[in-house]
Chain A
Amino acid sequence: MEEQEEQVRTPEANDYSFGPLGDAQGPEPTEAQDWLWENIEGALSDRAIARARDFTDLSEDARAKLASVELAGTIGKLEAQFAFTPEHTAKLSALLKYLYLRRFRKTEFARITARILDLTPEQMGPIEEALRDVLEASDAFKPLEKKARTSAIAPELDALPRVVPQRFSAEGTREEEPPTPPLEEPFILHEEKSLADTANETTPRETRSSFSFTPPETGGQKSQRPVTVRIETETEKPKARVVHYSKLRTPLENESQ
């Protein structure tokens, strides 16, 4: 009897089917994993997930400050000093997080904290003093300020800038390339006005909207006159549409017979 050689399958590059996992073995989570994820999703409300998303939008410095062991130690000292319960300590920590998440202003921190933790204004003084660094740092993470409104229409151009392609010679000096000859004109379905023609217009171009706007004067200087706004209305009455049912173009069956 011939001995059959045992066929040994050798792995090849990028052969993901090789190995103990076999062909396309997908994940097989255990009941313990399912239980864990049920608890995770049950513990997190939609608001908590939204807060977490806002937290990750903070800068790394802000997040590091809020997670720092040093800050936790400071709050731990306050916890001991004021005999906070674990729940009160967690609330104080949460209020600091809400401050950074812009849920309220820094000027409101003392009032809100005193109300939630049932503290007097005199008790808030040492707390604010102990947390002064983290409270002051919360101002460093302001949202972006809104820029002053500027005209949405570009200023008029006297002439279009001419872009000349440049190339470098063998010596490394720049050479100006001669302009390439224009190609055969392509088929143009709709010819639009060039930018130069548009820019040289003295009157505002008619737009489809009934709102017109006079662009400010060029020269880089602010115009002292207020911007004039002119609302245009249609001068002609719309033509009334009249439908004649008596003279149909397409004869009906009765008429044709």
Chain B
Amino acid sequence: MIRNMYPLGDFSTSQIKEMARAIQDAELDPENQMDPVRLYALRPDAAPDPLRFIRSIPPDDAAFIIPDAFAGSAGPELAAKLTLPQLEAIGTRGDVFLMAAILETLKVVAEQHPENQDVKEAFAYIRRSPAWQM
């Protein structure tokens, strides 16, 4: 299956949060402690404040977000928070599954909140960008 090629892909949001807690565990050897930011950059849905965190991801790192981050009830809101430079980087990298995940979740937001300006701007860019045409 295609989804298996994403590490951390099939883990649920709560599992990723548990992982983040585990690697920050104070009882761990300091050498084994890790900053969970790298984990959140791949799965921003597990970040403490996902909607705020996702906008802070550098565009080049945003191109590596795992599609599962946009699943669930929070997924559409998360997709709507992606900035144009992030969408540009995602289009440049060309991960078609990530792009499809973003499109599917943006459609949900567009149906529920047609007046959302972030979604309008994202859709306008996507239909005008040759890289985003599938």
Which residues does A use to contact B, with CB under 8 Å? 10-11, 13, 18-21, 25, 27-30, 32-33, 35-37, 39-41, 43-44, 48-49, 51-52, 55-56, 60, 63-64, 66-69, 71-73, 75-76, 79, 86, 89-90, 93-94, 96-97, 100
Question: How many Å lie between the Cα of A72 and that of B91 in the bound state?
Answer: 12
State which of B11, B22, B73, B85 has its C-beta within 8 Å of the C-beta of A29: B11
> Given A37, A41, A68, A90, which contacts B88 in the complex, CB threshold below 8 Å?
A68
Q: Which of A33, A40, A41, A94 contacts B133 (CB 8 A)?
A: A94
| Closest beta carbon of chain B to A67's beta carbon, Å | 3
For chain B, the count of residues having a C-beta within 8 Å of the partner chain is 51
B71 touches A35 (CB 8 A): yes
Is there contact, CB below 8 Å, between B18 and A67? no
| Cross-chain pairs A/B with CB under 8 angstroms, 10 sampled | A27-B10, A27-B15, A36-B75, A36-B105, A39-B100, A43-B104, A60-B92, A63-B92, A67-B132, A68-B129
A55 — which chain B residues lie within 8 A by C-beta?
Answer: 94, 131
Contact A36 B15 (CB under 8 A): no
Question: In the complex, what's the smallest C-beta–C-beta distance from A86 to chain B, in angstroms?
Answer: 5
Give the interface segment out of B27-35, B48-56, B111-119: B27-35
**B25, B68, B71, B103, most chain A CB atoms within 10 A:** B71
Chain A residues within an 8 Å CB radius of B100: 39-40, 43-44
> Which of B28, B68, B85, B105 lies in contact with A11, CB distance below 8 A?
B28
Please tell me if B70 contacts chain A, counting CB pairs below 8 Å.
yes
Known: A30-B72, A56-B94, A94-B130. A20 touches B12 (CB 8 A): no
Residue of A with least CB distance to B2: A41
Closest to A39 in B: B104
